[in-house]
Amino acid sequence: MRTWTAVCVALAALAVPTRAHAHVAGAASIDRYLDFVYVGDGRFRVAYVLDFAEGPARAELDRLDANHDGAVTPEEQRRYLDARVPPLVDAWAVTVDGVRVHPSVVASHVEVVHADGGTETVRIDSEVSVVATPPWAGADLTLHVHDDSFARIPGWRLIQAEDGVAETDGAVPTSVRAEVAGDADALRMSDARFVIHARSRADERAGRLLAVGLLFAAAALLAVLFVARRARQSA
C-alpha cells in the first residue's frame, strides 16, 4: 500500500493529464517515475510509472490496439504490457552494494486517459521487484540505479526511495533512511545512488543488551581489582 500511495502522490506531481489539464512538460513529453521501497532481506519493491503525453501516446495507442478496430480488449492490453514493460525494466542498470541485480516485473496496468480537445494519453503503472543478497544484520545497503530510457524526449524523470518503516519479514520493522546523489536537475534524473540505513529493532535490542553486558563486566572487573588490591594491602 505504501508503494501505491507513493505512486498516487507522484502522479499528482507529474501532472498526469485530466480532461481539464494538459501535460506541464508538453504534448510531446514522456514522464518516468521510479520509487524504491526497501522491504528487508535485500529486497526492494519498486513503483514504476510511465506517462505518455498526447504526441508519443499515438504510437502507444497504435501498439495497444493491435487489430486497429478502435476497441482495446483485455487480451490486447496484456499483450501490449508484456511486450512493452519488461524490455524497459531490463534496460535498467541496478546494483546493490556493487553487485548487479536484475529487476523483474511483478504486475502492470495500462490506462488510456482522455485529455483536452478529444486527444488521449497513455499511462502505465507497474510494480517491479529487486532482489539482492541480504546484508549483515544492521548493515547499510547502497543502491545504485541508472535508467536513461526516453532521455532524448522531453519530460520529467524522477527517481526516489522512501523513508519510513518497512516490513522485513512481516514481523520485524526496520527503520529505513535514504540518501540520494543524482543528476543536477532533480526533475531529469537518469542516475541515482541511495544509502539505505536499516537497523531492526531486534538489532537495537541486541546492541543495548551488549552495552549493558559490557557495563556489568567492567563493573565486575573493577570490583575484582579492588578486592585484590585490598587483599594485597592487608597482607
Q: pLDDT per residue over 23-80, tens digit each?
A: 777 889 999 999 999 888 889 999 999 999 999 999 999 999 988 888 889 999 999 9
Provide the pLDDT confidence category of residue 177 given band limits of 50, 70 and 90: low
What lies within 8 Å, CB to CB, of 113 at 6+ separation is 16, 17, 18, 120, 121, 122, 123
Provide the pLDDT confidence category of residue 132 given band limits of 50, 70 and 90: very high
- The pLDDT assigned to 91 comes to 96
Higher pLDDT, 97 or 212: 97
Total Cβ atoms within 10 A of residue 73: 12
Provide the pLDDT confidence category of residue 186 given band limits of 50, 70 and 90: low
Lowest mean pLDDT among 41-50, 160-169, 205-214: 160-169
- The pLDDT assigned to 140 comes to 84
Please report the sign of the dihedral spanned by the C-alpha atoms of residue 51, residue 56, residue 58, residue 60: negative
Residues of the chain with pLDDT > 90, as a percent, come to: 41
Residues of the chain with pLDDT > 70, as a percent, come to: 72
Q: Is the pLDDT of residue 206 over 80?
A: no
Lowest mean pLDDT among 117-126, 141-150, 223-232: 223-232
Where do the domains of the chain lie?
2-197, 201-235
CA angle 3, 32, 80 (to 5 degrees): 90
What lies within 8 Å, CB to CB, of 212 at 6+ separation is none
- The pLDDT assigned to 225 comes to 75
C-alpha cell at 144: 545504485
